[in-house]
Amino acid sequence: MPELPDIVVYIEALEQRILNQTLERVQIGSPFLLRTAVPPIGSVEGRQVRELRRLGKRICIGLESDLWLVFHLMIAGRLHWKEQKRLNAVSGRGPKNLLASFQFTNGTLSLTEAGSQRRASLQLVTGENLQQIDRGGLEIFETDLENFARVLTLRNHTLKRALTDPRLFSGIGNAYSDEILFAAGLSPILLTQKLTSEQIEGLFETTRATLTKWIGLLREEASESFPEKVTAFRAEMSVHGRYQKPCPRCGTKIQRIRYASNETNYCPNCQTGGKLLADRALSRLLRTDWPRSIEELEGLRSIE
């Protein structure tokens, strides 16, 4: 799922292309995409783009008359830009993964979604209703250490859950929380109310530094072109998506905790003091034989 760094770079690319441009035509290709009925989607046609804004993991395009197109790309939604004025109608002519197209005076913005599950969404709201969509999470670059600590320790959650809760922190998801916690040297299951003041301060600085680093890397990758390589799995990442690969810091194999459709990646040497965190899927399989350390895990695998 595109997170804060990806959304920032998307918005910067859109600002260069559609700010002050007129949205001439909207074509919706999937009945599952549009989640609002009032105002009608046709009311944005002929209106000029006045502002772009990030709201958590959402991309907001503000048009004349205080109308806002709000995109949530979810896991597989992606935006594309073509420097052309006309695009064939979505219905019956476009590719199956094309959910919508937005024809501007200088080009066309399209929204696609890989796979068969239609999770990406589009809402059209007025400015007075825009903030109702906001989950209320703290903006990491608009706060200080004191507020960060207050929100982090508001409830006794694991660090992974706290960082990815949109009601607590805005725009941080599965991928970058893994990278943040690795950089901070903290276990993803460490409870927030057990943190020392030094750990909280280190996490605050590391969160800002990690997100800043990735915004810079993604800007450099996109350069002057539109970002087309938006993915949660990148070769430059330290732990996320690197299960069984060597830790770039110590060489220990990266481990994971799997749950539902997500997983948490971590280095057991750098983050958990050599302790393996229980993977639910494997724990159910092995029951009491679940290894408690890197050494035990390696021993188990050698027997297999």
21 and 93 in a single domain? The answer is: yes
Domain that holds residue 151: 140-303
Q: Of 107, 130, 153, which closes a domain?
A: 130
Phi/psi for 51 (5° steps) reads: -160, 150
Query: What is the value of pTM for the model shown?
Result: 0.89
Q: Which two tokens stand for residue 201?
A: 């301060």
Domain contains 174: yes
- 52 with 165, same domain? no
Task: For residue 135, tell me if it sits in a domain.
Answer: no
pLDDT by residue, tens only, the chain of 304 residues:
899 999 999 999 999 999 999 999 999 998 899 999 999 999 999 999 999 999 999 999 999 999 999 999 999 999 999 997 554 544 445 678 999 999 999 999 999 999 878 889 999 999 999 988 988 899 999 999 999 999 999 999 999 999 999 999 999 999 999 999 999 999 999 999 999 999 999 999 999 999 999 999 999 999 989 999 999 899 999 999 999 999 999 999 999 998 766 789 999 999 999 998 876 655 554 444 444 554 554 444 443 3
Q: Which helix (H) or strand (E) holds 292?
A: none
Which domain-ending residue is among 130, 151, 176? 130
pLDDT at 168: 95
Distance CA 129, CA 36 (A): 12
- Residue that terminates a domain, selected from 130, 153, 182: 130
Residues in the chain: 304
Q: Are residues 181 and 60 both part of a single domain?
A: no
Q: Tell me the torsion sign for CA atoms 41, 43, 46, 49.
A: negative
User: Of 32, 54, 232, whose CA–CA distance to 119 is shortest?
Assistant: 32
Contacts of 247 (CB under 8 A, 6+ apart): 238, 239, 253, 254, 267, 269, 270
DSSP 8-state symbol, 44 = G
- Rounded to 5 degrees, φ, ψ at 38 are -130, 125
Dihedral (C-alpha) 142, 147, 148, 152: value to the nearest 10 degrees? -140
Q: How far apart are the first and last CA of the chain?
A: 35
CATH code, 287? 1.10.8.50
Q: Are residues 35 and 82 in the same domain?
A: yes
Residues 145 and 39 in one domain: no
273 shares a domain with 182: yes
Distances 149 to 158, 168, 196, 210 between C-alpha atoms, Å: 14, 11, 10, 18
In our burial notation (b when 16+ CB lie closer than 10 A, e otherwise), range 104-118 reads beebbbbbbbeeeeb
Give the number of domains in the chain. 2
Q: Give the whole-angstrom CA distance, residue 10 versus residue 219.
A: 9
Task: Please report whether residue 54 resides in a domain.
Answer: yes
Which of these, 261, 256, 258, 214, lies nearest to 234 by C-alpha position? 214
